[in-house]
């Protein structure tokens, strides 16, 4: 694959009013850029301002889900055509310093277990160098990233921004952070790139349905790669992705079932039991902690008929 970057990259800004609530290749582009240009996406907020730093749990009973997970854009990349790829590199975050995590009824891996809405508000160091306090229970290392990054699908829209799709979207991959090169398959002329759902940290799986959700401004460089014909997104990390949590080891529980979803659910249920018994937190707090810093891993998927999913909680968060 050959990368096409502009000789002199230009700077662009996408403002809060230039956000969409659907993937739709019929939406006119907010900006047209050249390959290699840098774009600043201002004031990304996963709830369109419905949850604030002063909110109480009651806000969860009145959320307008039609306004959840807006994406900034779309950006038309000059020369992009189906069969090409975009190379997206996040250059930096301008954080708000506050965030939220919530259990929302009928949403999340254990929705049948947790029916009561719960909201936790965070205050964090804007340099991301200090761990964020989760009440008196834990201190969570921060690693900002965007949960939603993608391009418009080829199929006519509108399509919800909640589920991911083959050209990206709400993938919630916590390792898509600063410096990582994300490659997205182009489905339509111009690609129509959008980004959203800024997180201060998340565990692999985002099991309660929310991470450390934080309004932020994001800057990204967008390059064009001719050809490639990717079926799905891929990315390259140039630095370690897990060492920041490895120092003290892990608490690990497992789920062993013939169904991967059931195995994942039981692995998380086991970790909630450990956290409530050993760290004296409520089941709701344990569930949210699993979402923001616990990692689900497929440990075994070959010894039929049962598969093993493990849930890892880094012990460093309890120091």
pLDDT per residue as tens digits for the range 28-76: 999 999 999 999 999 999 999 999 999 999 999 999 999 999 999 999 9
For the chain, the maximum distance between any two Cα atoms, rounded to a whole number of angstroms, is: 59
Read off the pLDDT of residues 171-216 as tens digits, 9 standing for 90 and up.
999 999 999 999 999 999 999 999 999 999 999 999 999 999 999 9
- pTM (2 d.p.): 0.95
Using an 8 Å Cβ cutoff, are 87 and 222 in contact? yes
- Domains recognised in the chain with CATH numbers: 2-236 (2.60.120.580), 244-318 (3.10.28.20)
Whether 93 and 218 have beta carbons less than 8 Å apart is answered as yes
Task: Give percent above pLDDT 70 in the chain.
Answer: 97
Measured distance CA(29)–CA(70) in Å, rounded: 15
Q: Is pLDDT of 218 > 50?
A: yes
Q: Which residues contact 64 (CB under 8 A, 6 or more apart)?
A: 48, 50
Q: What is the pLDDT of residues 224-258, one digit of tens each?
A: 999 889 999 999 999 888 666 888 999 999 999 99
The DSSP H or E segment spanning 276 is: helix 260-279
Q: How many CA atoms lie within 13 A of 132 on its CB side?
A: 30
Determine the Cα angle at 185 with ends 235 and 5, to 5°.
75
The pair of structure tokens assigned to 292 is 């923001």
Length of the chain: 319
Taking the C-alpha atoms of residue 153 and residue 170, their distance in angstroms, rounded to an integer, is 13
């Amino acid at each position: 694959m050959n990368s096409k970057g502009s000789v002199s990259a230009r700077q662009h800004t996408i403002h809060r009013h230039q956000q969409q609530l659907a993937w739709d290749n019929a939406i006119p582009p907010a900006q047209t850029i050249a390959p290699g240009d840098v774009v600043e996406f201002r004031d990304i907020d996963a709830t369109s301002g419905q949850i604030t730093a002063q909110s109480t749990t009651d806000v969860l009973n009145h959320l307008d889900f039609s306004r959840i997970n807006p994406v900034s854009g779309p950006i038309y990349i000059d020369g992009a055509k189906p069969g090409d790829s975009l190379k997206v590199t996040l250059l930096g975050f301008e954080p708000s310093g506050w965030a939220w995590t919530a259990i929302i009824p009928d949403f999340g891996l254990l929705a049948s277990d947790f029916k009561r809405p719960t909201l936790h508000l965070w205050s964090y160091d804007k340099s991301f160098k200090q761990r964020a306090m989760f009440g008196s229970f834990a201190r969570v290392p921060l690693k900002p990233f965007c949960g939603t990054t993608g391009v418009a699908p080829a199929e006519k829209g509108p399509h919800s921004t909640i589920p991911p799709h083959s050209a990206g979207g709400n993938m919630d991959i916590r390792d898509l952070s600063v410096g990582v090169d994300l490659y997205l398959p182009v489905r339509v002329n111009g690609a129509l790139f959008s980004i959203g759902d800024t997180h201060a940290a998340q565990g692999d799986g985002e099991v309660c349905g929310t991470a450390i959700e934080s309004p932020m401004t994001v800057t990204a460089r967008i390059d064009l790669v001719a050809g490639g014909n990717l079926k799905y997104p891929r990315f390259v990390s140039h630095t370690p992705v897990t060492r920041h949590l490895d120092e003290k080891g892990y608490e690990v529980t497992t789920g062993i079932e013939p169904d991967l979803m059931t195995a994942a659910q039981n692995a998380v249920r086991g970790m909630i039991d450990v956290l409530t018994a050993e760290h004296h937190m409520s089941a709701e707090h344990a569930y949210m902690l699993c979402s923001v810093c616990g990692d689900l891993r497929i440990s075994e998927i070959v010894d039929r008929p049962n598969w093993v999913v493990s849930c890892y909680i880094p012990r460093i968060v309890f120091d």
